[in-house]
Structure 1
Amino acid sequence: MQIFNSLTGRKEEFRTHQPGVVRMYVCGDTVYDFCHIGHARSKVAFDIVRRYLEYRGYQVVFVRNITDIDDKIIKRAAENGETIQSLTERFTRFMHEDYDRLGILPPTHEPKATEHIQGIIDMTQQLIDKGYAYVASNGDVLYSVSKFEGYGQLSGRALEDLRAGARVAVDEAKHDPADFVLWKRAKPGEPFWPSPWGDGRPGWHIECSAMSLDLLGSHFDIHGGGMDLKFPHHENEIAQSCAATGDTFASWWMHNGFVNVDDEKMSKSLGNFFRIRDVLDSGHLRDPEVLRFFLASSQYRGPINYSLVQIEQADAALGRLYTALRDVPLAEAFTPGEATRRFQAAMDDDFNTPDAIAALQTLATEVNRAKGAGDLAAAGALAAELKSLGGVLGLLQLPPEAFLQKAVGASALSDADIERLIAERKAARAARNFKEADRVRQQLSDAGVILEDKPEGTTWRRS
């Protein structure tokens, strides 16, 4: 298995620190607002990574943190006139609802920053003791980037360039413009915890270093997150963790690409910012699995363009896979064939989900061919293989009829309406009133309902 390592800039053969076990940390969310499709892109990508590693036989210890204290949270709670705990618990609940709808597996551990304050204080003290951090004149504890050899290795940014790009109005408490906060001295009215340097709260970067150390140890296998976290967040994590422990920290660094909307980068300022739940409830998706399929249709490292056209294409493509599974009794066991080999080869090549999905589409064609030939035994075995491989990507999790009969948009016809019209059409055909039967069929077609007449009766699905 080859995985692209952002730290080295190349694909490398994947080997775990502990045989048979993958220890993996993925940066989670700051819970003060609803999750958007950029969050969905990252979480689905690493959920697929986790699922495939488990499919390949690894025991995966998957950690995804929650940041439940920072400047944005404090500001939003004050604006709302509510407690920080009330705010963060509510948006943590909303986050779980969104991710559950997308079929994202819960992590093995989901630590909160406020639950690891002592570990953060301990790591900060280690960095002070080793000469990598200092207490500034304003009471903050800052990391001295000049003390860490190799700072900038992940992002490819030279320290001198970072200094040159710093704003003119540099914080006078810093020894170096590039230094960053480990522990923030509390301001009046802010939440705080006692520490050797006075009441305060953790800086953002130190949270992940302390939580990963506590739950995965000083050297683990994979650290993941969005491309936007590479600098400064992940760069600072490396500096903190390696300096504090003297160990390797993460062997592989994985970063997913950005989401564009209609070929423009998604941002609140452009007004093209979409929350997950708004997309799922917009009426444009037959099922949340369509969004998951869309996100999986591009390789995780590259950008992905979100548009209604792309969603419609994803719906149609996923619908073809479900159609292949329709009316086929799944075999209890199957012998993996060429499709499984192609699927594994694609996923072993840095989780190449587009090629993996192509293998599923080829397999669906084989299922349809076997169905057309009347070989239900072969179709059942192929369909079982298709559903099994789809499950590795978190797809094909519904009964085919349940997916295919879901409405897209504001349908004028309910399921009961459709069944009533089908019965009327059946009666018209029995009375040899084919003009009326054709009229009913056209009415259903205009409403986006496709009929399929079979010897055992008429089935339907929404287009």
Structure 2
Amino acid sequence: MTLRLYDTATRSVRDFVPREAGKVGVYLCGLTLQAPPHIGHLRSGVNYDVLRRWLLAHGLEVRFIRNLTDIDDKILVKAVEGDLPYWSIAYANELKLTAAYRALNVLSPTYEPRATGHIPEMQQLIAKLIDTGHAYPAADGSGDVYFDVLSWPAYGTLSNQSPTDMQPAGDAPDRCKRDPRDFALWKGVKPGEPADAYWPSPWGRGRPGWHIECSAMCWRYLGAEFDIHGGGLDLTFPHHENELAQSQAAGLPFARYWVHHGLLNIGGAKMGKSCGNSLDLAYVDSLGVRPVELRYYYAAAHYRSVIDYSEDALREAAVAYRRIEGFVQRATEQIGAGQLGAVPTAFAAAMDDDLNTSAALAVLHEAVRDGNTALTGGDDVTVRTALGQVRAMLDILGVDPLDPAWTDGGGADDLRAVVDSLVALALEQRAQARSRRDWSAADAVRDQLKQAGVVVEDTPHGPRWTIGEQN
């Protein structure tokens, strides 16, 4: 295959060669479930969904793992503050995350493991690290176990920094550690934390550290070595650096490619609950922007670029998508939906160039312009070719308007069904008024719909309506 990806480990764009012919293993670091997802989190799901779809388009069998961190310091703090079981907080947020991904047409992972389901694998890895001298139980009897950073000479290579320049890990008191940069693999029971948040272990009752969770789940579902490890750029250090060190120190070759996406910032700062600047899907919906348009907004930027969120940029992306959608609707009315065509060579070249969706979208918009010209000229042959190509490109990006995920599924289906019924009733009243030549009544219905944000366009195939400005 011809795909090239930027590999954080080598800091270069490299030819992607699967470890096993015809098969690809991908691990995406999922969310820590201490809070509902915001649109910064959801960029990750969309970016790696596009990667997955492009790998599938290359004819590869993709095993896609996206984990859930359902035991963590932040979750336990919220459990104590709210006097709730820690697992109830994690599960409630898991349901919200699943609904958000479904609303954005993100393909379900092959497996979506929870950290708490893999305690035995974590303990096996920790035992290997202790046996090989790369980890040690705390000498104070706390039950903590730490990775010995200085025992692993390659530590820091992924994030391109020297251990001498690193800050203390900060995940436990330094008095328990040989070196402040050592990080926790296992955390002994602590007073004041939920009594059910612990498991038995050779080192005493406790729970896993954050980093060992992902190493164990990668090992369980993808084996000792796999193709692509993904996540946000902010996870490069310490999370992915620690994953790499502990996995390789335990004898696992681990990931062959490290692929990181840029963040979605707001006002120049990282979006986050703790910063008080997070926006969710409900907020985007309040702007009149649909999930498919938010997905297009994500895809329009290169996955490694930083997106500085603004309402203007989001609305511009929505308008751009509606133009594409308008062509698909008009072409479908004229010649039928047809089949997905082949993606243009220029689109494939852009996607193979480190998933350059910005360049790929330029090819898409050119195809839409050609299709619109053919529609105006009544050239059905060209329209059919353009429609097949446009839908194929949109399918790779996950935003084909005719995809059942948008027409029959998604988080807003029930509301859409109600709107469909109400608009259909209004259009029937308008049709009756027109049939009796009561033009003022017909215009009144159309104006009322327009005031409600519904734009009606009369076509040779009957009235067609859309939500938002007509383009």
Is TM > 0.5 for Structure 1 vs Structure 2? yes
Identify which of 98, 101, 120 aligns with 1:99.
101
Conserved? CA contact 1:285–1:311, under 8 Å: no
Q: Which runs of 5+ in 2 are unaligned?
A: none
Match of 1:187 in 2: 190
CA contact (8 A) 1:267 1:273 kept: yes
Is 1:360 the counterpart of 2:360? The answer is no
Asked whether 1:229 is paired with 2:235, we answer yes
1:174 corresponding residue in structure 2: 177
Q: Given the superposition, is the C-alpha separation of residues 344 and 173 from structure 1 closer, same or farther in structure 2, using an over 3 Å criterion? A: same
**Aligned with 1:36 (options 35, 38, 41):** 38
1:458 is aligned to 463
Equivalent residue for 2:211, pick from 205, 215, 224: 205
User: Residues 61, 442 of structure 1: CA spacing in aligned structure 2 closer, same or farther, 3 A cutoff?
Assistant: same
User: Aligned letter for 1:289?
Assistant: V
- What CA distance in whole angstroms lies between the structure 2 residues aligned with 1:432 and 1:198? 84
Count of matched residue pairs: 450
Counterparts of 1:388 and 1:96, CA distance in 2: 26
Other structure's SS at 2:250 match: helix
Question: CA 1:200 to 1:427, structure 2 compared with 1: closer, same or farther past 3 Å?
Answer: closer
1:135 maps to amino acid: P
Q: 1:429 to 1:9 in 2, by over 3 A?
A: same
Which one of 198, 205, 217 corresponds to residue 223 of structure 2? 217
Matching residue's letter, 2:180: P
Deviation at 1:431, TM superposition (A): 7.2
| 8 Å CA contact 2:169, 2:182 repeated in 1 | no
Q: Tell whether the 8 Å contact from 1:328 to 1:380 is kept in structure 2 after alignment.
A: no
Question: Which piece of structure 1 moves more, 198-207 or 350-359?
Answer: 350-359
C-alpha spacing 1:445/1:373, structure 2 compared with 1 (3 Å): same
CA contact (8 A) 2:44 2:231 kept: yes
Query: Matched residues in 2 for 1:207 and 1:421: separation?
Result: 55
User: Shift of residue 314 of structure 1?
Assistant: 1.5
Q: 1:187 and 1:16, CA in 2 relative to 1: closer, same or farther beyond 3 A?
A: same
Write the distance in 1 (CA, Å) between the matches of 2:215 and 2:274. Answer: 31
**Superposition RMSD in Å:** 2.8
Identify the residue that residue 8 of structure 1 maps to in structure 2: 10
8 Å Cα contact 2:299/2:357 also seen in 1 = yes
* Residues 95 and 225 (structure 1), Cα distance of their counterparts in 2 relative to 1, 3 Å cut: same
Distance 1:166 1:211 in 2: 22
Match of 2:309 among 306, 309, 315: 306
Residue 215 of structure 1: how far off its partner (Å)? 1.1
Normalising to structure 1: TM-score of the pair?
0.89
1:213/1:418 CA distance change after superposition, 3 Å: closer
Within 1, Cα distance between the matches of 2:461 and 2:178? 80
Cα shift at 1:386: 1.4
Query: For 1:377-456, what aligned pairs fall within 5 Å after superposition?
Result: 377-398=381-402, 444-456=449-461
Decide whether aligned partners of structure 1 residues 237 and 334 sit closer, same or farther in structure 2, where only a CA change above 3 A counts.
Answer: closer
Shift of 1:207: 0.7
1:146 matched residue in structure 2: 150
Deviation at 1:449, TM superposition (A): 3.7
Instruction: State whether residues 330 and 381 of structure 1, in contact with CA within 8 Å, keep that contact through their aligned partners in structure 2.
Output: no
2:174·2:180 contact (CA, 8 Å) conserved in 1? yes
What is the distance in 1 between the residues matched to 2:104 and 2:325? 17
Does the 8 Å CA contact 1:261/1:306 hold for their aligned counterparts? yes
User: Match of 1:132, as an amino acid?
Assistant: H
- Are residues 113 and 271 of structure 1, via their aligned partners in 2, closer, same or farther at CA, if it must alter by over 3 Å? closer
Distance, in Å, in 1 between the alignment partners of 2:385 and 2:441 is: 41
Matched, 1:292 2:295: yes
Runs (5+) with no aligned partner, structure 1: none
What is the Cα deviation at residue 197 of structure 1?
1.1
Alpha-carbon offset, residue 66 of structure 1: 1.0
Q: Helix, strand or coil: the match of 1:17?
A: coil
Partner amino acid, structure 2, of 1:42: S
> Deviation of residue 135 (structure 1)?
1.1
Indicate how the Cα distance of structure 1 residues 333 and 250 shifts in structure 2: closer, same or farther if over 3 A, else same: same
**How far off its partner does 1:43 sit?**
1.0
Matched, 1:370 2:374: yes
Query: CA distance change for structure 1 residues 456 and 231 in 2, over 3 Å: closer, same or farther?
Result: closer
Q: Distance in 2 between the 1:68 and 1:328 partners?
A: 50
User: 1:225–1:254: 8 Å Cα contact kept in structure 2?
Assistant: yes
Change (3 A) 1:105 1:55: same
Residue in structure 2 matched with residue 256 of structure 1 by the alignment: 261
2:117 aligned partner: 115
Instruction: Name the CA distance, whole Å, in 2 between partners of 1:158 and 1:248.
Output: 22
CA displacement 1:55-80 (0-9 Å, x = unmatched): 11111111111111111111212222
Asked if residue 349 in structure 1 is aligned to residue 350 in structure 2, the reply is no
CA separation of 1:328 and 1:40: change in aligned 2, threshold 3 A: farther
Output the CA distance in 2 between the equivalents of 1:429 and 1:114.
Answer: 64
Counterpart of 1:382 in structure 2: which amino acid? A
- For residues 334 and 180 of structure 1, do their structure 2 counterparts lie closer, same or farther at Cα, with a shift above 3 Å needed? closer
Aligned to 2:69: 67
- The AA in structure 2 aligned to 1:89 is Y
